[in-house]
Chains A and B, each alone.
Chain A
């Protein structure tokens, strides 16, 4: 307390300095709205008007340094031939890196894989999350325990989770094949197969994100007024009917939000397939059967050392995301209009 008081006094004394009367004893109140008072008033106005900008500035400065600048620079570099061995040596090639992508089978393969794995993981994940949230919405014993438990997969690191899944999906000594063997099914070579590998990668994504989405849904469900359920129950609606006709419509904006977030996540899918591929995982399997766009970008830049081309892939991914955002905005508007 003492220090605060002193600081306040000091501050007051210091403030009179600019008024040119620093030497005289403080008689502020007697002087009425003097020069110092006007200065103070002006400072106060500036404070109110500009301080918020100063407070939000750090974010924007950091964003400009670590977000915007790299984004623009990546775009610039994508119009050049740049190799990692000599990043300073940039040769202008115009749109060559982009046109090259158009007839690059590996790029289309990666794009297709990203889409397939995205659908394989996002759809079941969101459906399961909705179901789980619905179950958790009931009065449960130790409800908090279940909610926290739901979030634990999300809290584990991608690397740790994926490495465990790699062991589970092992061809020769994996637990999944062992379980399949117990019911008389031949072992599956999860990593080499085209669809089995995509399924395996999707399952890791599903495992990690289902609980996270379920909690978002749960939070939204809690906001649905109870009387709607009571009214529905009075009308004789079963639990399933209540879910379909009360919960889901009320959750529509939330569902849309999770779809957008999951789609963005799916487009950028990287860690899971990389680690699932083991040594040399950036190739996404011997036939690139689970190489996503993220992996292809990584391979181009950091294994083939073609930075310019990697930048072009990055920008293409960025444009795809913008496209998804646009489609989503349209759908959202339609939904609102139909409501």
Chain B
């Protein structure tokens, strides 16, 4: 008898444990879900009286690396900053969307990539704090187009601009020399100043005397991206109507890219894939369109062997490729603290510091006159005055109209159409048709 009752008890304990486990899991979910649960340690702080502000970003934003978090924590002893990074935006952004919809799991500050900012500003604007009215924010600090991109029709600003992506051209001095082209960065910039067609013509000249095993540029898609981002209207017009099928910007950039691919000027690579990295290491191509974030990439992939071989020259036309924003979701736990931090992180002084350490070009023009930017030279790229080059490019960028499906449309052109021409030898007509079909499939509702 006793034995059996004993087993009983034990079973009850086991069942209880299961129940507790279940409850714990559920509790764990619930805890993630809302701001209410975090209030246990007093309004918005943990037991030690400190406020923990969380920041969610994709890729390397560099705040931590540049010591900005440490500095802010020194200035505000009651604040701790915690950053969570998802490496790629195509994993980060869908997660942000689901968290916004659920109203939970959000960081206090969330980053948004430029290709997604329109969707956030138009369809999700109600889920973010309006930062235009935050204390310490001066609209005039930012480049006008950068500010507009994150602002909805009612004038609410959902994100503050971080870096931007003005384009320069990176080129290999040693290969240019062997091909009989000038190597001085001013002279190289003059080769193609003002017109992308001149860049293609330079490529043709390069091809005639190209050092064995090398080509002029990495990919048709790279040429396309560098060219298209110089036009104010690309996939959408100012009224928000999609024009990707016949916009002059697309047409012109597509034709340039096709010329490059068909003329044998490209290494037929896809950007950000392993073979592309290997081609950097092997010095396979002589030029690549270079937003500031590309400098770090080249340095890493080309390694010591590429030191002082790469240099930076001005691009044919000012264009913007990439750049981000940070915003504060309405469902954030520590909204007020998060807004102050976001404002501080994107202020001109901090953007200049970030440039100094991470080469991210500020979206606030007043930073350009600060010594960190004005006097910046990149030792890896033969001491090129990157601050001056990128700042000059930044000032010439027009207001870019961005639409909701910007990313999907752009990817269809680069990853489907141009890749079919570049790698699969399809005719431009076929590839164009495939691209349009891809876009229809992507944006069709």
Contact = CB atoms under 8 A, between A and B. Distances in A.
Interface of A: 4, 7-9, 11-12, 15, 28, 40, 43-44, 47, 51, 54, 58, 61, 81, 83-88, 104-106, 166-167, 170-173, 189, 191-192, 278-280, 283, 286-287, 302-306
A269 B272 CA distance: 24
B140 interface: no
Q: Which of B5, B123, B278 has the most CB of A within 10 A?
A: B5
B273 A279 contact: yes
A106 B424 contact: no
Nearest to A81: B445
A11 B119 contact: no
B209 to A, nearest CB: 22
Contacts of B119: 85
Interface in B12-69: 15, 18, 22
B415 interface: yes
17 contacts: A8-B3, A11-B5, A11-B6, A11-B8, A11-B9, A12-B2, A12-B5, A44-B4, A85-B123, A172-B267, A172-B278, A189-B423, A278-B272, A280-B411, A286-B416, A287-B424, A303-B442
A28 B416 contact: no
A270 to B, nearest CB: 15
A87 B416 contact: no
B278 A173 contact: yes
6 closest pairs, A vs B, by CB?
A286-B419, A278-B273, A279-B272, A192-B423, A8-B6, A11-B5
Contacts of A12: 1-2, 5
A173 B97 CA distance: 39
A47 B2 contact: no
A28 B282 CA distance: 89
A167 to B, nearest CB: 6
B272 to A, nearest CB: 4
A54 B98 contact: no
Nearest to B15: A54
Nearest to B6: A8
Contacts of B1: 12, 28, 40
Contacts of B267: 172
Contacts of B22: 58, 61
Contact of B98 (A47, A84, A106): A84
A192 B422 CA distance: 10
Nearest to B415: A280
Contact of A304 (B279, B423, B437, B441): B441
Contacts of B408: 303-304
B153 interface: no
B101 A88 contact: yes
B392 interface: no
A167 B274 contact: yes
B94 interface: yes
A51 B423 contact: no
Interface size for chain B: under 10, 10 to 19, 20 to 34, or 35 or more residues? 35 or more
B78 interface: no
A62 to B, nearest CB: 9
Contact of B415 (A11, A84, A170, A283): A283
B331 to A, nearest CB: 14
Nearest to A167: B274
Nearest to B445: A81
Interface of B: 1-6, 8-9, 11, 15, 18, 22, 90, 94, 97-98, 101, 119, 123-124, 267, 270-275, 278-279, 282, 284, 408, 411, 415-416, 419-420, 423-424, 426, 434, 437, 441-443, 445
A1 to B, nearest CB: 13
A9 B5 CA distance: 9
Contacts of B271: 279
B164 to A, nearest CB: 22
B161 to A, nearest CB: 22
B423 to A, nearest CB: 4
A305 B97 contact: yes
A306 B440 CA distance: 13
Nearest to A37: B1
A4 B267 CA distance: 75
Nearest to A28: B1
A26 to B, nearest CB: 10
A304 B420 CA distance: 21
A160 B15 CA distance: 40
A189 B275 CA distance: 12
A334 B408 CA distance: 49
A86 B8 CA distance: 50
B420 A287 contact: yes
Q: Which of A85, A88, A104 has the most CB of B within 10 A?
A: A85
B2 A11 contact: yes
Contacts of B123: 85-86
A81 B443 CA distance: 13
Contacts of A167: 274
Nearest to A54: B15
A303 B15 contact: no
Given A170-B275, A279-B270, A40 B5 contact: yes
Nearest to A170: B275
B4 A305 contact: no
A190 to B, nearest CB: 11
Contacts of A287: 416, 420, 424, 426, 434
A252 to B, nearest CB: 41
A338 to B, nearest CB: 47
Contacts of B97: 84-85, 305
A166 to B, nearest CB: 6
A331 B269 CA distance: 47
Nearest to B123: A85
A295 to B, nearest CB: 13
Contacts of B3: 8
Contacts of A51: 11
